[in-house]
Structure 1
Amino acid sequence: MMSSPLSRWVTAVFLTFLSQSQQGVHGKDCVCELRSSERPFPMETLDNIQVLASKCNQSITPKQVFEVDTLLLGLQRRMEELQQNTAVLEREDDGELYGAVTLRIIELELAEIQQLMARLNRTVHGLQQLSASTATQLQGMLGSMQELEDFDYMQVVNRQRENQRMRRDLDQCQHQLHATAEPPPTPRLGHCPHGQLVGVSGPRTYTLTQYGTSYSFGAWGKDPKPVPGKESTHWLVALTTSNVFANFVREYSTLSTIVVGVAPTDATIASSNPTTNTIQGPNVVMYGNALYYGCYNTPAVCRFNMTARTISTVALPQNTGFNNKFPFGHLEGTYVYSDLDFATDESGVWVVYTSPENFGNVILSEVLEGSPPALGRTYNTSLHKRTATNTFMACGVLYATRYISKEAEQIFYSFNTQTSVERYDLKINIKKMQTNIQSLNYNPRDQMLYAYGDAHIISYDAVFSDIL
């Protein structure tokens, strides 16, 4: 029977010890010299490999790859916008004021594209250098690990590899035996098919409205569920009376026309302002060719049909705050008459409000389409409404923003309607172009955020990622 290296080493040590003990020193002391024929294990090499592996993990993070994806997304969006604006110029250029303004817009977009491309090139070049350096380090670590395997006298590593291979083959066999056709995936609330919201880039659009600086409060955007022929239409509601009320909604055929402020079409909601059915508050949305807003002087949702020019309403629960009782706010003030906030996402329309019974904390209700509309699922949250400046929905998740400074707003809170999980640790900053953002809404059709801030209309790209 063949002996192993370990048993041979033990036998050699024992014989050496026996030989030395028989000699003796002064008849009492036993002295033995331990000599091993095996090489000492190079612990220093293993320590160096562990240090290199730790540095490698720290130098390469998902955030670096995500930065490239974000830049590519921004570049793609700006190229699409440039193409649209160029087409508008070719189709509608009058050779004078409109053409000059549109050319200026295209010039600014080209400058932004050049800046993005330069930043993308720098980022890619840095990642290429990092990749080359990392490949060299990995090759060195691989060679060192192969040398260390020579000390695996009991073949532990090889046996582990063989066990892993056999387990993998067994799992694959079982999967093939029991495999069944999976149903096609369907989007669900709380889960975006394009990933998790991780950032906001931009702005992409930033300009005064046709009214100039006259009306600080309002809202704008695109219909996430447009009727045929209005896919490019943008709408605008400016609160034209006391920064509180409005009685008409203005539509523009394209983004360029709303930026330049030409050829609008007005749809009158009420004959005077303010009066019954007047728009009250800045938080307004368009969905399915209908405008949703807070009804004048009553805690109710108003729905204005843009085609039929008819109005239908649904009352909110008793004691719902209205008439500036529970507005959004921050340390320096409040956004007046923002008691009701409306939002759109992949599933439809939502309304945000609160009541004394919920201690001023946000209540979220689904607004079901119909004439009249109706309230659907309702959720109570722990977010106190006055601690937020705005809310919006994306894929069944409610997000809230807060005032950080004159230059930044921050998405700090989320509530997932699927799991009822709340988070207060989000730190997604939005670059502000004006001191305040009076309204903010997400459009699931183009994955963009539309903001109205101090008489300016601004749009941002909502950045999503599958990396948690």
Structure 2
Amino acid sequence: MKLQVVLVLCVVFALSLQAPSAEECWCELWNEEKAFPHDKLGMVERNASDCNSNISPDKTLELESLLLGLERRIAQVHRDVSVLEREDDGELYGVLSLYVVENEVVEIRQLLDKLNHTVEGDQHLSADTTQQLADLRAQMGEMETFDTMEVVKARLANQLLKKDLDVCRNSLNATVPPNPPPQGTCPHGRLVNVTGPQVFTAGEYPGSYSYGAWGRDPEPQPGKQNWYWLVMMTSSNRYAHYVRLYSSLSSLIVGKSIPGNILIHSSNPTTNTIQGPNNVLYRGALYYNCYNQHDVCRFNLTAKTVSSFKLPEGTRYNSKGNFCNLDECYPYTDLDLATDESGIWVTYTTTQDFGNLVLSKVEEGEPPRLGQTWHTAIYKQAVTNTFMACGVLYATRFVSKYVEEIFYALDTSTGKERFNVGILMKKMAPNIQALNYSPVDQMLHAYCNSNLVSYKVWFE
């Protein structure tokens, strides 16, 4: 029985193979779009990876190390030559000392050759990288034309939307910021060095507005943790009537301000507008010297309201107690506002202190008020700028058009003064009109002849 079934199935299969095939249907497909250049995309990715590997922080570190080594070698040669001039006996001692100096000069020459080679290599690398970035931008622009369905565009829009949602969620769940540590308390240790500059840009208005200040809010509002602020003296290098905000450091560098100018008043200058460049932003409010008064003003950027408090009678203002260098004074720098880990401070001078620097803590409130005060032994016009860090007041002085020195410190927790701090800062312009310390990232933000410069602050 089983054998018969198998035979029947074989016959059916054979007949089906012999049956004529159904009518066939052919379909041709033409793709009028250009083929996506996968090879070019791979090349772009490789070039971008090469750029990332070629441009690294190690390049800057190598250059700074060579400059530091050269600086120390030159100082050592200067000391050895001084000893030789002072103690040369014309015989064996002088010959040995001269031999030591000669060896050091040879090493300096070798350092200079290495430094020149490094600088030339960095210049070529910078030029090549600039051209590669331009090529990459053009190639990516070409490949964007293949995104006819706008998939990439939609993905970018989704990423921006997700970022906005995260900001909104964080602002809703924001916690009350903790109380700042008491003055004199520093989690970082003692300030030991300042390096850089790490940022140097002409900003949005190259060459304009020689006086001003910039920085970050140490206690920013939710969603504004990466924001930067800028105040420029837009009238006679003395007065200003608005604050300019930037959503990131890159926005500040390229000059894209959002939300733009926040006006204190439509006129400039007038009552309660800004006088002088030494201003700071703290918890969404700008602190500054009120126009034509020895008062400190507080402008709330959200509520657009101004409150103020007076400094002691006899406080010098209207450009009578300025910061100065050997050749000139910086006009309308009578008051210098500062921030650090513990809050807001103000330095000034009074007739009672015979021109010496006075430091006061600013206590928040509506209106704010003057807190504890320290009287120093440093003459204000011998100082070019001041800043606060961890409850310590630091003062700078002009050394040359290339170098500024942090030479003085007052520890508010002990009341002790130091006149031998001896930290040198490299300048990108002869004068520093404003100097602000940012406890957010331990950076010094300087306003130098309309340029925006920042330095890294190093603690123990």
Relative to the length of structure 1, the TM-score reads 0.61
Question: How much has 1:122 moved relative to structure 2?
Answer: 13
Where does residue 302 of structure 2 map in the other structure? 307
Query: Which of 236, 239, 249 matches 2:233?
Result: 239
Amino acid at match of 1:425: N
Question: How much has 1:444 moved relative to structure 2?
Answer: 1.0
Question: How much has 1:262 moved relative to structure 2?
Answer: 1.4
CA deviation digits over 1:271-330, x for unaligned, max 9? 111111110001000001100000000000000001101000001111110000000001
Amino acid at match of 1:450: H
Query: Which of 198, 201, 218 matches 1:224?
Result: 218
Amino acid at match of 1:446: D
On the 8 A contact 1:245/1:279 being kept in 2, the answer is yes
Relative to the length of structure 2, the TM-score reads 0.62
Distance 1:361 1:268 in 2: 34
Aligned pairs (5 A) from 1:411-450: 411-450=406-445
Q: 1:309 to 1:398 in 2, by over 3 A?
A: same
Distance 1:456 1:109 in 2: 28
Q: Report the 3-state secondary structure (helix = DSSP H, G, I; strand = E; otherwise coil) of the residue aligned with 1:358.
A: coil
Query: Which of 297, 314, 318 matches 1:319?
Result: 314
Question: How much has 1:116 moved relative to structure 2?
Answer: 1.5
Percent of residue pairs bearing the same amino acid type = 52
Aligned pairs (5 A) from 1:19-98: none
Amino acid at match of 1:335: Y
Aligned pairs (5 A) from 1:104-123: 110=55, 112-116=57-61
Amino acid at match of 2:234: T
Aligned pairs (5 A) from 1:80-229: 110=55, 112-116=57-61, 188-229=182-223
Distance 2:211 2:54 in 1: 27
Q: Give the number of aligned pairs.
A: 299
Unaligned 5+ runs, structure 2:
1-47, 69-179
On the 8 A contact 1:403/1:410 being kept in 2, the answer is yes
Where does residue 344 of structure 1 map in the other structure? 339
On the 8 A contact 2:182/2:342 being kept in 1, the answer is no
On the 8 A contact 2:214/2:229 being kept in 1, the answer is yes
Question: How much has 1:243 moved relative to structure 2?
Answer: 0.3
Query: Which of 204, 229, 251 matches 1:257?
Result: 251
Amino acid at match of 1:200: V
CA deviation digits over 1:152-180, x for unaligned, max 9? xxxxxxxxxxxxxxxxxxxxxxxxxxxxx
On the 8 A contact 1:330/1:388 being kept in 2, the answer is yes
On the 8 A contact 1:401/1:413 being kept in 2, the answer is yes
Q: 1:108 to 1:267 in 2, by over 3 A?
A: farther
Question: How much has 1:187 moved relative to structure 2?
Answer: 5.3
Q: 1:228 to 1:187 in 2, by over 3 A?
A: closer
Question: How much has 1:192 moved relative to structure 2?
Answer: 1.7
Q: 1:384 to 1:121 in 2, by over 3 A?
A: closer
Q: 1:406 to 1:109 in 2, by over 3 A?
A: farther
Where does residue 273 of structure 1 map in the other structure? 268
Question: How much has 1:107 moved relative to structure 2?
Answer: 8.1
Question: How much has 1:263 moved relative to structure 2?
Answer: 3.3
Amino acid at match of 1:205: V
Q: Report the 3-state secondary structure (helix = DSSP H, G, I; strand = E; otherwise coil) of the residue aligned with 2:377.
A: strand
Question: How much has 1:200 moved relative to structure 2?
Answer: 0.2
Q: Which 4+ runs in 1 deviate beyond 4 A?
A: 106-109, 117-123
On the 8 A contact 2:232/2:240 being kept in 1, the answer is yes
Question: How much has 1:464 moved relative to structure 2?
Answer: 0.4
